Amino acid sequence: MRQSKLFTRTKREAPADEVAKNAQLLIRGGYIYKNMAGSYSFLPLGLRVIEKINRIIREEMNNIGGQELYMPSLQDPVLWKKTDRWSDENVDVWFKSQLQAGGDVGFGWTHEEVVTDIMRQYVSSYEDLPFSVYQIQTKFRNEVRAKSGIMRTREFWMKDMYTFAATEVQHDTMYETVAQAYGRIFNRIGIGEKTYKTFASGGAFSKFSHEYQTLAEAGEDVVYVCEAKGIAINEEVLEEADLSELGITREELVERKSIEVGNIFSLGTKFSEAIGLTFKDETGESHPVIMGSYGIGPARSMATVVDLLADKKGIVWPESIAPFMVHLVGLNLEDPEIRDWAEGIYNAFSDRGVEVLFDDREVRPGEKFADSDLLGIPYRVVVSRKGKEAGTFEVVTRKTGAVRNLTEQELFADLVGE
């Protein structure tokens, strides 16, 4: 991609109404555009990042046997009334409307009811279980106060997985398998070291559910952490938690701010009983299916990476989710010889399958370097007259700021592995 053609534009200042670091930097870098409170457009750079996060999520969900589907955002009140979740008194985040043909319709904020209804047509025997399905789909929540940039919005992507089991043993095995996959996902997107599987309320179905909380000063949640043992407890269940069962004492826990990037719940048979999802066991006796629900917010994860890893110059993307691996910054491009050299390196990277953004704009070097720092691409490779004379490229690692001068052979050996 040539930066002169890229549909984006960096900004020196963030909008005055944005206080969250992630929103300020993502808007300044041209990754997102704020349409209104709680609603953002993801521009080409931002969409590239989201798609890479989604790819990691898909790979991990597929690797544990999850099958991807896609369910509608429009919701039939009939299903939700069966579980007593249509009423605004019970659930206060609904967006609702009326159909022209008559009747109410809702805009989905989760999909337990819908997926349970679907599975009634495909599950009849214990031999059909266990299995899991997931989707990455748009959700709508009528938040009273949308805030924290793309952390808490009214329209957002959600990866929601649902598991279906015949026995508690099957369910528990699947639950732990998903939990381990979540750990791998957060490691791969660059926030694993700061993300804790956190004990939270399990409601009526289990002693605990689990949240995935990333320690960050920008967080709106509070957790209590024992870093030595890798255990965290949600503030809401601190008094309820049996600390001895977890092998910790209150004195070992430190209060920290955090961002919730995922959660996993045992649903028991609440939805299957209400909607009529049953199976017959080996003796022909009918039982309700045991279910689990597992969520990750891709955009929330993206925002967390920005809040956690950015420095005073701008965003710092991990290689796994960066929009491009290399930012090729061309200087002295008014010189045909230098431009030809830069074009050759750009094509060489592209031919080797390296994602490269080529800053071929006719602007001052200082502006190019400031934009490069703001965009946060892992490696900046500078092509210049000075470098041409020396036969080297200046390579800057965005994460560490380390600067190296490499020959063309060394450049491709380092960044491509040749």
Residue 33 forms part of a structural domain:
yes
Task: Tell me the whole-structure pTM to 2 decimals.
Answer: 0.94
The residue ranges of DSSP E strands in 249-372, in sequence order, are 254-268, 278-280, 286-288, 290-296, 326-330, 356-359
Name, in order, each residue with C-beta under 8 angstroms of 307's C-beta and a sequence gap of 6 or more: 20, 21, 22, 216, 218, 259
Q: What CA–CA distances, in Å, run from 260 to 170, 206, 265? A: 27, 20, 14
Residue 330 forms part of a structural domain:
yes
Percent composition of the chain: helix, strand, coil (DSSP 3-state, to 5): 35, 30, 35
The pLDDT of residue 143: 87
Tens-place pLDDT, residues 59-118: 999 999 999 999 999 999 999 999 999 999 999 999 999 999 999 999 999 999 999 999
Tens-place pLDDT, residues 237-264: 887 777 888 888 889 999 999 999 999 9
Q: Angle at Cα 412 formed by Cα 408 and Cα 417, nearest 5°? A: 155
**Which of 275, 269, 274 has the alpha carbon at shortest distance from 290?**
269
The pLDDT of residue 202: 79
**Is residue 315 very low, low, confident or very high in pLDDT (cuts 50, 70, 90)?**
very high
Residue 13 forms part of a structural domain:
no
Q: What is the rounded distance in angstroms from the CA atom of residue 79 to the CA atom of residue 272?
A: 12
Residues 305 and 334 both lie in one domain = no
Q: What is the average pLDDT value for the chain, to the nearest integer?
A: 94
Residues 138 and 215 both lie in one domain = yes
The pLDDT of residue 138: 96
How do beta strands 356-359 and 326-330 pair? parallel
Sign, CA dihedral 128-133-139-142, equals positive
Range 18-29 average pLDDT: 93
Tens-place pLDDT, residues 168-214: 999 999 999 999 999 999 999 999 999 999 999 877 667 789 999 99
**Which of 394, 392, 364, 368 has the alpha carbon at shortest distance from 379?**
394
What's the number of domains the chain is made of? 2
Residue 69 forms part of a structural domain:
yes
Domain boundary among 309, 344, 377: 309
Burial track 21-48 (b if 16+ CB lie within 10 A, e otherwise): bbbbbbbbbbbbebeeebebebbebbeb
Flag whether pLDDT at 22 surpasses 90. yes
Residues 275 and 341 both lie in one domain = no
The pLDDT of residue 220: 87
Tens-place pLDDT, residues 143-181: 888 778 898 899 999 999 999 999 999 999 999 999 999
CATH number (domain holding residue 344):
3.40.50.800
Give the tokens for residue 240: 């309820």
DSSP 103: S
Residues 369 and 226 both lie in one domain = no
Domain boundary among 283, 309, 335: 309
Domain that holds residue 72: 21-309
**String of DSSP letters for 221-245:** EEEEEETTTTEEEEGGGTTTS-HHH
Residues 154 and 211 both lie in one domain = yes
